[in-house]
């Protein structure tokens, strides 16, 4: 197995408040790792620190064999680290298709595995909406669009922050199915989620975070049966 992303002893602050405490995680190539935790546990802060939006006060981030701890976000993106934030920002006045084409580029390894036709194949819903202004899409459609847009950059790793948040169950099921297919096709994903059930059939392994600390790590099937951890650290 090839390791693509590693965080070692990460700490992060917002002003004087310490939010992350020695966060460690390892993401292997072609795997999906869930980062689980309840509201305010530090999932988004971890994702932002990995993406370079929040600086790491201490610790190291190794991506595809390089130390990226001090790199700005755009340099990390150029190396193939794609970050999809929880706010689902699209270019509202542009069509779905233009939102995708704006992001099209070959990957850091020169690959262009993801092109518009493959996106339409994977996201038939988006193909039906290709001419629609992105600002007029539903929340779930926008979520699909921002994931697809990230893929158009042919990244090595996708950082997905709470793709299921605030969406209706049917839409969540669509996104879940799509992420499962994406994983099966060889994508490497770090998936931050509150919803353990959403992650169950997508991620093989889960890291549980609470109050900015990694408190547990387990395969997702085992975690689903682990009442104690679920009761203590996850809201279910």
Ligand X SMILES: Nc1ncnc2c1ncn2[C@@H]1O[C@H](COP(=O)(O)OP(=O)(O)OP(=O)(O)O)[C@@H](O)[C@H]1O
- Site residues (CB under 6 A) for ligand X? 14, 17, 19, 37, 39-45, 162, 194
Select the residue whose beta carbon is closest to Mg ion and give its number: 44
Q: Are 148 and 155 in contact (CB under 8 A)?
A: no
CA distance 61 to 47: 12
Q: Are 99 and 89 in contact (CB under 8 A)?
A: no
Closest distance of CB 31 from Mg ion, Å: 22
Stretch (H or E) spanning 198:
helix 196-200
Closest distance of CB 128 from Mg ion, Å: 30
**197 three-state secondary structure:** helix
Residue number with CB closer to Mg ion (41 or 82): 41
DSSP string, 68-83: -TT--HHHHHHTTEEE
Residue from 11, 158, 170, 181 nearest 85 by CA? 158
**Between 23 and 62, how does the x/- string for binding to Mg ion read (CB under 5 A)?**
--------------------xx------------------
Residue number with CB closer to ligand X (86 or 127): 86
Beta bridge partners of 84: 160
Residue number with CB closer to Mg ion (19 or 103): 19
Closest distance of CB 158 from ligand X, Å: 17
Residue number with CB closer to Mg ion (44 or 122): 44
Q: Of these partners, Mg ion, ligand X, none, which one is at the site of residue 80 (CB under 5 to 8 Å by kind)?
A: none
Q: Are 6 and 32 in contact (CB under 8 A)?
A: no
Closest distance of CB 79 from ligand X, Å: 23
CA distance 196 to 27: 18
Q: Of these partners, Mg ion, ligand X, none, which one is at the site of residue 52 (CB under 5 to 8 Å by kind)?
A: none
Instruction: Provide the token pair at 5.
Output: 């992303």
Closest distance of CB 86 from ligand X, Å: 6
Q: Are 206 and 191 in contact (CB under 8 A)?
A: no
Q: Of these partners, ligand X, Mg ion, none, which one is at the site of residue 14 (CB under 5 to 8 Å by kind)?
A: ligand X
226 forms part of the interface with Mg ion (CB under 5 A): no
Question: Which residues lie near Mg ion (CB under 5 A)?
Answer: 43-44
């Amino acid at each position: 197995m090839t390791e693509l992303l590693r965080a070692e002893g990460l700490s992060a602050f917002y002003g004087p408040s310490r939010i992350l405490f020695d966060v460690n995680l390892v993401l292997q190539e072609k795997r999906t790792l869930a980062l689980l935790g309840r509201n305010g546990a530090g999932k988004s802060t971890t994702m932002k620190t990995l993406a370079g939006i929040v600086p790491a006060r201490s610790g190291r981030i190794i991506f595809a064999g390089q130390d990226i701890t001090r790199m700005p976000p755009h340099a990390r993106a150029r190396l193939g680290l794609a970050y999809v934030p929880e706010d689902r920002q699209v270019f509202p006045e542009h069509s779905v298709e233009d939102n995708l084409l704006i992001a099209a580029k070959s990957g850091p390894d020169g690959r262009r595995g993801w092109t518009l036709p493959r996106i339409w194949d994977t996201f038939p819903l988006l193909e039906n909406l290709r001419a629609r202004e992105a600002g007029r899409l539903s929340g779930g459609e926008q979520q699909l669009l921002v994931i697809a847009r990230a893929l158009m950059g042919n990244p090595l790793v996708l950082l997905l922050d709470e793709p299921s948040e605030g969406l209706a169950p049917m839409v969540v099921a669509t996104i879940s199915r799509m992420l499962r297919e994406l994983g099966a096709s060889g994508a490497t994903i770090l998936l931050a989620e509150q919803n353990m059930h959403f992650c169950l059939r997508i991620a093989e392994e889960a890291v549980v975070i609470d109050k900015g600390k990694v408190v547990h790590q387990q395969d997702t099937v085992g975690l689903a049966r682990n009442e104690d951890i679920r009761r203590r650290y996850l809201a279910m």
